[in-house]
Amino acid sequence: MRFLEMLGRTRLRHRRKAAGGQRDPLVPAGALAAGAALVLLAAISPGAAQTIGENSAAQGNQPYSMSVNSQLVIEPVVVKDKQGNPIAGLTAKDFTITEDGVPQAIRSCEYQSLQKTVTPAVPYKPKNVIIYNKLIRTQIAPEPAGSTLYKNHRLLALYFDMSAMYPADQLRALDAAQKFLKTQMQPDDLVAILRYSSGSVDVLQDFTADRDRLLSILQTMVVGEGQGFNQTEDDSSASDVGAAFGQDDSEFNIFNTDRQLSALQTTAKMLGRLSEKKSLIYFASGLRLNGLDNQAQLHATIDDAIRSGVSFWPIDARGLVATAPLGDATKASQGNASMYTGAAARAMMTDFNQSQDTLFALAGDTGGKALLDSNDLASGIVRAQRSVSSYYILGYYTSNTEQNGRFRRIKVTLKGYPGASLDYRQGYYAGKVFSKFTDADKERQLEDALRLTDPITDLTIAMEIDYFQLNHAEYFVPIIVKIPGSELALAKKRGAAYTRMDFIGEIKDDYGGITVTNLRDHVDVKLSDQTASQLAKLPLEYDAGFTLLPGKYTLKFLARDNETGRIGTFQTGFTIPNLNKDVKSLPVSSVVLSSQRVDLKNAIYNAVKAKDEAANPLVQDGWKLIPSVTRVFRRSQTMYIYLQAYEPTAPPIRPLIAFVTFYDGAGKALETQPLKMTSAWTSSVKPMPIRFSVPLDRLEPGNYDCQVTVLDPEGEKAAFWQAPMVVLP
């Protein structure tokens, strides 16, 4: 009998009315998913013990009730003897579980008996060719109450990230999946097929053992959907004719890596509704954290997978790759000095390694293994299949009911079996809730969220970090945050007249881990009917500024909608270079792309103090340049480009020449006239401000690479900067 069903028989929720003794139908706790809150109503009568499952009437027929929140924790445990064979026949009395050192009462123990995989399996030959209709769903169906549908079965989810694979890689992944289903699938296997494309996770087929249906679903998947062109380079390896963006040109979906990791997180939560062990085989052509890396989303994805009992088994669909130092014929030339200094070759190798590092991290932190540099992609599925052997499912109600998001360490021991080995997850992160806090509670909750290693990613955050040299030692570092306004419109739906956005952040030195500076601020956003309608289309932008020395830093930034309690976390490492040491090339600051300048009198932001405004080079003549974090523009807009060049060792100010070039898939699409700059600000570091205003109506809608070139003819130096961008109609 299923252990959840047994729990449902022992823990029932009743409600006895004061008159007539009637009660509602029984609601079994077994219908709840793992980790869900279980509400129990119990009676308290003077001098009587607590009765679980029924409320007794007190004096005067006045019912008393008590609500108790209990969290059901499910822990899969693999038990093997010295020879590596599974040990069967154990009961709950044979195990001991502690959570943070506190013993827990085991309420259920169920054995999942799985046969050993046979290699090779008998090749499968379908008797009849049946084409099934592909019914797309958004959720994995939970196991019906009292059912043994998934008992003694191995759950394998084939997940195809179409946005992270080129068409050739998609074809190899689909062929590998078909090969596994035809030659390696075992009787104990239940397989599901999921696809991520066009910004959503689709369940093409729920868990089933019907190989005809599974093969038919794979045959209906279109090779080439999702385009697979999300791998954008922003370093020396970038091509002059890039146009390497994701399939979705909406502003925030351009940050494909965050969306891909968020999709994996959604899938892990979806699979967490099942109590058995789940293996997610993730097909992708690498997964590189593009642009400014948001490590918080990577951590959140891994934490939710551990919490849901899901192990990731990534498979690099590129297979064994051997390319020329500067790329093969599918990649255009870099077209700058990095081709001759070796920087382009090093950047290309670094990009490739980083794309595999993320896959390796997803696997290693969730109990799986990544298949890299192998042309036998089906073997990666077989490794995931063999990793799941017979195991026990232990269930207990944790004695720690606090929803504080902290890590809870689990230890499982076995009595009377010396030499036996146990394999289980070492802990999990508790849930996090936002209830009716006081102002002090909300402040403490936000500070705790900043310190937690388990980040919260309910809100989408995009960020840009720039740097400008103030003097020989210090740099002004503005940060710009963008949040989709549609995610804040939820507060309006609840009837709120306004919402308050709280911001908190800190910057730590990577060398010593010391907090260098921090931030605490808030912004009130009115939610009138007109404003709420605009929030669905326009993002909320926020900026702040810091003064830092050259070095490596880590920034952790949190934003919270104070009305709904939703929190977004952005965490990244960044480097402030020492431009005084750059003697081979022309030192330049960050390059800012913008489509908006605002009057400071009308600015709604209050984090940047007056002293920072005076040092902020983006503020000129009472107007502030707002960087475009997502680098998405429209043809009707004018693009403002700003940067600074420095000549710290030049006795006189030498004239500089700068121009901007836009490349599309066919080559050079637009190039501005060269500008000759001879004037500079009065400063000890002699910054040369460089400004461009480029009307975008001369560009057709599409993806482009924007390249800024700055030349120092007298000093025989140059600087190149390149980044992808999108022009919308």
Q: How far apart are the first and last CA of the chain?
A: 60
Q: Which residue intervals of 510-552 are DSSP H helices?
A: 529-535
Supply the DSSP symbol for 120. Answer: S
- pLDDT at position 238 is 38
The residue among 287 and 207 whose pLDDT is bigger is 207
Please report, rounded to a whole number, the percentage of residues in the chain having pLDDT higher than 70.
71
Is residue 587 reached through a cis peptide bond, with omega within 30 degrees of 0 on the bond before it? Answer: no
Distance from C-alpha of 30 to C-alpha of 148, rounded to nearest angstrom: 13
- Listed in order, strand segments (DSSP E) in 213-258 are none
- Condensed to tens digits (0 to 9), the pLDDT of residues 344-369 reads 777 777 778 878 888 999 999 999 99
641 against 287, higher pLDDT: 641
Closest CA to 70 of 97, 32, 49, 40: 40
In the prediction, which pLDDT does 7 show?
Answer: 37
> Which pLDDT tens digit goes with each residue over 607-616?
344 445 556 8
280, pLDDT greater than 90? yes
Q: In which band, very low, low, confident or very high, does the pLDDT at 43 lie, cut at 50, 70 and 90?
A: very low
Per-residue pLDDT averaged across 23-37, rounded? 31
The reported pLDDT for the residue numbered 335 is: 63
Of residues 281 and 472, more confidence is placed in: 281
**Residue ranges of domains in the chain, CATH in brackets:** 3-113+394-427 (no CATH), 154-389 (3.40.50.410), 440-577 (2.60.40.3880), 588-598+622-729 (2.60.40.3880)
pLDDT in tens, 244-264: 222 233 555 554 467 788 889
**Predicted confidence (pLDDT) per residue in 468-512, tens digit:** 998 888 999 999 888 887 776 555 555 666 677 889 999 999 887
Residue 677 confidence class, pLDDT cut points 50, 70, 90: confident
- State how far the Cα of 167 lies from the Cα of 172, in Å rounded to an integer: 9
- pLDDT tens digits along 697-720: 999 998 898 999 999 888 888 899
pTM of the predicted model, to two decimals? Answer: 0.66
Q: Convert 383-441 into a string of H (helix), E (strand) and C (coil).
A: HHHHHCCCEEEEEEECCCCCCECCEEEEEEEECCCCCCEEECCCEEECCECCCCCCHHH
Q: 562: phi > 0 → left, psi -120 to 50 → alpha, else beta; which?
A: alpha
CB 586 within 8 A of CB 717: yes
Cα 632–635–638 angle (5° rounding)?
Answer: 80
Instruction: Say whether pLDDT at 382 is over 50.
Output: yes
